[in-house]
Every structure is written in C-alpha cells, then in structure tokens.
Chain A
Amino acid sequence: MPILVGRKTRAIVWGITGNQGSFHSKLMKEYGTQIVAGVTPGKGGNIVNDVSVFDTASAALETTDANSSIIFVPAPFTKDAAMEAIDAGLNPVVIITEGIPARDAMVILAYAKQHGTIIVGPNTPGVITPGEAKLGIMPGEVFKPGTVGVASRSGTLTYEIAQSLTHSGIGQSTCLGIGGDPYTGLNFVEVLKLFRDDPGTTALVLIGEIGGSAEEEAARYISETDYPKPVVAYVAGRGAPPGKRMGHAGAIITGTEGTAAAKIESLTSVGVTVADVPSDLPRILEKQAPPISH
C-alpha cells in the first residue's frame, strides 16, 4: 500500500495547457496515472492529451471525481491555484513550481493546515508510487515497485539514488521530493509518520542537504518515537561554503546552522546510518533490513 499517490489517484492538473503541464501530464498518463481534468483560466473547453480543460476547479468537479492535484502554473499564479485546489478539497496538492515568493508559500501552507490538506513542495519533483502512479516530473523508468520509502529534498539526486537501488534489486514503495525551497509543506517528520503507518514500507531512505533543520528534526523524531523501521540517509553539501545558495533556495548555510556535518552528526547519533557516497545506500540498506532486497 503506497502513501499519497496510487491507483486510486485521480488528479487535476493546473497549467495543463502550458509547456511543462502538457508535457508532463502526457508522461504521467503514460505511467498509469489517472489525469481526470486540467484547469487553466480562460482555456475552458479545450482538450489537452485527451484531458478536458476547465476554467475553474468547481467546473472541473461538476463532471469529474478528482481527489488530488498537481500544479505547474508560473510562480505569480501559484498561490491562487494552490488555494483553489485546497478549497476544492483535493488532497494532496503537489506544487512543482519553483521560485514562488516566500510570503505566498507561508499563506498556502497555513491555509492547507487549516483544511487538513497535504502540500508536497513547492519546488518538488513530485511523488511516485512505482508501478502505480506518479504526480510529478521524475523519469518513471529509474524506479521499481518494492518496499523502501524514499524522501528527498532534491530532484536529480533522488533519481540517482533510486536508480542505484533499482539496479541493486531494491524496489521502492513511494518516493517523493519534499521540495528545495525554504518553505515547504510535507517535511521529513511528516513523511516519517506517513511511512510508519504504511504496511507496504519496510525501510526508509532520507536524502537531505544543507540548510534549514529538516534533518535534525527528523533525527529528533526518530529518537523520541523509537521509530519502528530502519532509516538510512545521505546528506549532500559537505563541500558547500557558508552563505552561498547552492542552487536550491533552501540550500544555504547561515552561520554555523544547517551544515552537512551537523545534520550527519544528529542523524548518526540516533542510529541512522549516513552513506558517504550515494552508491553505498543499497549495501547499507541490505545490511540493515535484509528481506527488502530481491
């Protein structure tokens, strides 16, 4: 049983008429995801990739039974799209868009919390449950069905690690990016909770990076709750200098806070094995939880 996204996912795509939205809605459909509608204001009545486009979410919901959403609209329009999706009762809301104003992100997250809606992102590659469905932009072929949950702050590094797991015969239950921005919805702790309650997940991989305190909070949660499943990790940015944004808006060391060393230390201290290089992860996983492989 997956988390967040699966066979029962029926998604509305915001921005389906744009470049990214139309390209990826096609790929999501090909992967097996049910894309039931698109929303683009002013483009209602069009058809994109055999999917009907509506002007608003309420119009889309009159004729479809959507339950999830994914947002590709440009940053200036993301707050409106996300709030509309939350109001429409869609859950989760996956926000692919990068570079949205921090104050907009804060409003979206606060509004989602009031409504009990899970936000994945912004600035995320999305969520994939291998073999079932994906709401995101990740290449489906590097993933394979299995029982290891993967949560990451990055995109391509996640594909890199998923591919090395797949090549070692280790399949994944669900993989998701929590987003590379300073303000994101789901954080590692919330993902840990979801995976804990998922009987289809037997072990977890966390892929962290410099900046913020998501990894430290995850470590605290693992230790405080005596987390029942093995967790292994990789943290990117050991070689990053302080004060410079390493591509992601959230990946910045401020003063002595947010360094890779501090994150590795807090994860290690609660029994999480942190890999030195990404390709060590499959071997470490096999040692920690032998039955997950092959």
Chain B
Amino acid sequence: MKLFEYEAKSFAQNIGIPVPRGSVASTPDEAKDIHKRLGGEVVVKAQVLVAGRGKAGGIKFGKTPDETRDRASEILGMFIKGEKVQKVLVEQKLASKRELFTSIVQDRSNRCQTALASGQGGVDIEEVAQTTPEKVIKHPLDPIFGMRAYDSRDVALRLGYNGNQLNLFSNLLSNLYRLSVMYDAELVESNPVVETQDGKFVTADLRIIVDDNSLFRQPEFQERSREVSSEVSPLEAKAREQGLAFVELEGDVGIIGNGAGLVMATIDLVKQFGGNPANFCDVGGGSNADHVAAALSVVQSSEKVKKVFINILAGITRCDEVAKGILEVKNVIGLKKPLVVRMAGTNHEEGRRILRSGNVDSFEKMEEAAKMVVALGSS
C-alpha cells in the first residue's frame, strides 16, 4: 500500500528526519495561507500515489502567495495517470548544492533489504541505474541485525562525505531504515535528498510503500487498505471483495480456475489457440460451491466477456462442490454467456454427473476444453 508524500514526511519528522517546512492544502486559498506563513519561495506538489507527477505537471513553484494560490488551483483537480489530485503539499523551496538519491528496498535476488544511494539524484534515477550502474551504491543489509551504524557510515563515505557530513548523512540513512522497520515498508525512498548550501541534508521527497502482508500489525492502515485504489478497476474491486484473486485483461474469454499457476497456464493456452482472455480469476484451493458461484457471477457480469472457461484440477478442491456452484448460478441468475468446463481430480465423476444433470457439458483434458472455448461462436 502506497502512502502519500505528506503522510510519509510526517512519519519521518516524528523520528527526527529533516524535511522541508510545509503543510498540506485542499484548496487554493489554503495554499496561499501556507505560503504566507512560510515566507520565501515555495513548491506546490500534487499528492498522488502514482509516480511521475513531475513530468505530468504536478509540481510547480510559487514566488508570492498569490502565485501559489494560482498554481495550487491549476494542480488541484487535475488527473495524473488517472488519479485525481485532491491535495497539494506546499513547502519551502530549498537551495540545493547537490541532489542525492537514497532508498531502502526489498531486494529479491539477495533476499534482504538493500540500501541504495547515488550522488546523481533527481527525476531520472532509473536512467542513471540503467546507463551508469556504478553510480548507484548498493549495500545489502543483514536481515537479522538490520542496518548497523557502520553500514550507513560506509554508504556516506562512498558518497564522498567526511567529518560532520559523514555523521549527518549516515544518521539520515539509519533513520530511513528505521522507518522501513516501523512501517514494514517494501520501499522507503527519498529522491532527492537535498544537500543544502550549508551542508545539511533534507529529504525533499519521500515515498513509502507498506507491505500489504504486514497490515495485520499496521492497524492505522488497515481501514484504508479496504478503500478502492485508482489502480484497481471496478470489476477487480468487486472480485476482490469476494476474496478472489482477479486481474482484468483485454480480451473476451472469461477465465476461472483454481491455483495461480494453473490459471496463468489456462490463459496461455487460450491465447495459444487464438483466443483472447478477459481476466485472470483464481478461486484458490479448497473452494466451496458459494465461492465458485461468486467467481462465475463476477466474471459473466462483465460486458466484454463473450464466453467463460472454468478450469479445475481438484486437489483439496472437490469437483462436486465446483459443479454445485456452477448450477447454483445457472438456477438462480442463469448462465449469461456460453460456458466451457474442464474438471479433473478429486470427485470429478460426481462433479461431472452433477453438471450433466443440469445440462452442462464438461471436459477432462484442459487442451480440449481450451480449443472448444476458442472455437465457440467464432465459426
């Protein structure tokens, strides 16, 4: 789960990480008032969860409070990659000597958190990492001991700092690591950390992404995780409410299966035979009739779905339960789209008998069923 910049910065400030002075505004007039309080020049930043707001025009500068009000009114209400801007952060503009990139990431290949830092901070860090990877310092952290003070000093030294600045930067990095622990963060990233004219470090931007699997011990975010994010389509939201793993795709063949790997393989097969899947829908292991019925109801409710393919290889799942779920939909709301069922594994004979009793045919082999669903209606 992604946090807004202003939230991340308030958490940072609570543990002593230097952030620019500023405040969050929901209206242009509030932005103007904040500027009056801050004085000097300010930066007005769209508060959105998607990345790339700078390039999209979501960051502007104000020299006077009136100008700041105008910039805020331009940004508030704009859409950045489909996300509407509801708030702006108004902050003092920093005079920077150098812009650094720092990050605490979860590192899949090293199976640990890794501290990243670069003297080439700013918007195009991805490009720096691609073209001149030697300019990005990578320091893997021991999962059991975490970031020790000397880990952060090592990074500071490699960035070229010494004396008081070495301690200042390593404190900042240690504190960013602390944030990652406190909030179970997949990512804590400040790009840029600004080195000011007087040699101090301030986190000019800050992103935190909380590991969704940690929400059980992050109570303050639990409620929010249930809110619908703009990155999820309405159909995806509806499916996830039913406890289904669901991803919307481009095509017209609704796909339902049990187990992520099997559903992926089903999508691949349908594509290989010339069909175009409309979704990924995993009912998971041990599904009962209601769960299968919920999946079928959601998938066939989509207008773009022209036919539905249910592929079940039952292990813990039982085919008779799956069959009951299918007939439940047929009898209560009706099968709205042509349906192809493949069933194998636990209780498949009973499952098939139940389906036959409701005049639904089924296949034993998944390739045959996939060919059938692709052929449906295309002749």
A interface, CB within 8 angstroms of B: 75-76, 99-103, 106-107, 109-111, 114, 125, 137-139, 142, 152-160, 163, 180, 182-183, 207, 209-210, 212-213, 234, 236-241, 244-249, 251, 260, 276-279
- Residues A110 and B142 in contact in the complex (CB < 8 Å), given A142-B345, A240-B267: yes
Within 8 A of A (CB), among B110-127: 111-113
In the bound complex, CA of A260 to CA of B280 (Å): 16
Indicate the member of B109, B271, B313, B315 with the most A CB atoms within 10 Å.
B315
Q: Does B260 contact A (CB under 8 A)?
A: yes
Taking CB atoms, residues of chain B closer than 8 Å to A234 are 265
Q: Does B219 contact A (CB under 8 A)?
A: no
CB distance from A76 to the nearest CB of B (A): 5
Interface with A: B19-27, B208-216, B299-307, B352-360, which one? B208-216
B249 closest partner in A (C-beta) = A241
Taking CB atoms, residues of chain B closer than 8 Å to A246 are 245, 247, 260, 263-264, 280
CB distance from B140 to the nearest CB of A (A): 11
Taking CB atoms, residues of chain A closer than 8 Å to B366 are 160, 278-279
- Residues A139 and B346 in contact in the complex (CB < 8 Å), given A99-B213, A278-B265: yes
The answer on a CB contact under 8 Å between B143 and A101 is no
B259 closest partner in A (C-beta) = A156
In the bound complex, CA of A23 to CA of B365 (Å): 29
Taking CB atoms, residues of chain B closer than 8 Å to A100 are 213
The answer on a CB contact under 8 Å between B345 and A238 is no
CB distance from B107 to the nearest CB of A (A): 9
Taking CB atoms, residues of chain B closer than 8 Å to A207 are 261
Q: Does B144 contact A (CB under 8 A)?
A: yes
- Residues A154 and B262 in contact in the complex (CB < 8 Å), given A183-B111, A244-B247: yes
B interface, CB within 8 angstroms of A: 106, 108-109, 111-113, 142-144, 181, 184, 186, 211, 213-214, 216-217, 245, 247, 249, 257-265, 267-272, 277, 280, 282, 285, 313-316, 344-346, 365-367
CB distance from B273 to the nearest CB of A (A): 9
Q: Which of B109, B111, B214, B271 contacts A238 (CB 8 A)?
A: B271
The answer on a CB contact under 8 Å between B213 and A75 is yes
- Residues A110 and B143 in contact in the complex (CB < 8 Å), given A236-B268, A238-B268: yes
In the bound complex, CA of A155 to CA of B284 (Å): 10
Taking CB atoms, residues of chain B closer than 8 Å to A76 are 216-217
CB distance from A184 to the nearest CB of B (A): 9
Q: Which of B112, B263, B265, B315 contacts A139 (CB 8 A)?
A: B315
Q: Which of B108, B144, B263, B280 contacts A111 (CB 8 A)?
A: B144
The answer on a CB contact under 8 Å between B260 and A106 is no
The answer on a CB contact under 8 Å between B144 and A107 is yes
The answer on a CB contact under 8 Å between A163 and B345 is yes
Taking CB atoms, residues of chain A closer than 8 Å to B214 are 101-103
The answer on a CB contact under 8 Å between B109 and A213 is yes
Taking CB atoms, residues of chain A closer than 8 Å to B271 are 238-239
A243 closest partner in B (C-beta) = B231
Taking CB atoms, residues of chain B closer than 8 Å to A154 are 259-262, 264
Taking CB atoms, residues of chain A closer than 8 Å to B213 are 75, 99-102, 249
Residue pairs across A and B with Cβ atoms less than 8 A apart, 23 shown, are: A76-B216, A99-B213, A102-B186, A106-B143, A110-B112, A110-B144, A139-B314, A139-B316, A154-B259, A155-B261, A156-B259, A156-B313, A159-B313, A182-B108, A210-B264, A213-B108, A237-B268, A238-B271, A238-B272, A241-B249, A245-B247, A251-B260, A278-B265
